Amino acid sequence: MSKVYVGMSGGVDSSLAAALLKEQGHEVTGVYMKNWSKDLPGFTCPWKEDYEDAKRVAVQLGIDFKLYDFETQYRHMVVDYMVSEYKKGRTPNPDIMCNQEVKFKLFLNTAISDGADKIATGHYCRTHNGKLLVGIDEIKDQSYFLYRVTSEALEKSLMPIGEYKKSEVRKLARKLGLYTADKKDSQGICFVGKVGIKEFLINELGSQEPGAIVDGGNGKVIGQHEGAIFYTIGQRHGLNVGGGLPYYVTHKNMNTNTVYVTTDLDDKDLWRQEITLEDIHWINGKPSTDKTYKARLRYRGPLIKATLKGNRLKLENEVRGVAAGQSAVIYDDQLVLGGGVVTN
């Protein structure tokens, strides 16, 4: 069996991943990645508690335990990228960038140079010969966040949790008496914790200039926003424009700091059927263009039949609220092919 370094976040999924791999006979080492430790106003970063929880499980399992400090790299690769994208008026996904740059590049390379044969994570996905497959639990499947991982990295990665449903994971963890068996799942920004994007951006950039909310149908100013970067296409809540039918964000002008909205659900600016992709990544080579695949445009979003032609993705049905900066991930049944970033 091989030497496996397991990324242990202090949660139940990665805890059980370590336990399962030890049961299978691997020489397991637990690793806590310290990617963020900064407290924010009204929010205490949970990294110390998570670190201690991961360490307790490692002691329970009788495995070695290490801490890798990636804070500087995480700031540069994930946080700076996210903030830069929001400043451009786009809607990025920091979890995707974290997986691409930190977990399956930086952590992998550091672990291998430290003596590991492979790494493992608690993701609800499966790997097979450098291919990425969806997790057994359709609701918890996290393949959307992993579409930018390379086949070379996947060949050296194990994801044992992908073979289980979440309810089974909890049950197994309790059966093994793992300290984290009933710990709540983490929420919020990857590694930062349960803090809203708006609060995070304000902490990074300061308060933003207010601007006009304009009804795109008649050009009238109907309200004021707190900064265009905080709004995304299709957004309905948080606009604070009262009365009558709900308003939806259709587009933004970052140069004039204007947010455009509509009450018309048939507004053409709300819907997309053809999407242009950039920064495209295919895990196992470029797929065929004469086949119908399925695409997912947000985590836990519906799978929609789609065809590919160059960097163009044509969907079977129109989709509401597609924002530049978010990712479109392409599937061929259980296999994750890859995907790209949505442009304007």
Is 98 catalytic? The answer is yes
Judged by phi (left if over 0) then psi (alpha if -120 to 50, else beta), residue 206 lies in left
- Mutual angle of helices 12-23 and 166-175, in 10-degree steps: 60
Is 190 catalytic? The answer is yes
- Give 293-297's long-range contacts (Cβ < 8 A, gap of 24+): 293/330, 293/331, 293/332, 293/337, 294/330, 294/331, 294/332, 295/328, 295/329, 295/330, 295/331, 295/339, 296/144, 296/328, 296/329, 296/331, 297/322, 297/326, 297/327, 297/328, 297/342
CA 321 to chain centre: 18
C-beta of residue 145 within 8 angstroms of C-beta of residue 299 = yes
Q: Which of 20, 54, 63, 98 is catalytic?
A: 98
DSSP characters for 38-64?
Answer: --BTTB---HHHHHHHHHHHHHHHT-E
Q: Which of 77, 78, 134, 190 is catalytic?
A: 190
Label residue 16 exposed, middle or buried (CB < 10 Å: 0-12, 13-18, 19+): buried
C-beta of residue 329 within 8 angstroms of C-beta of residue 340 = no
Q: How far apart are CA 222 and CA 30, in angstroms?
A: 54
C-beta of residue 326 within 8 angstroms of C-beta of residue 341 = yes
Q: Which residues are known catalytic residues?
A: 98, 190
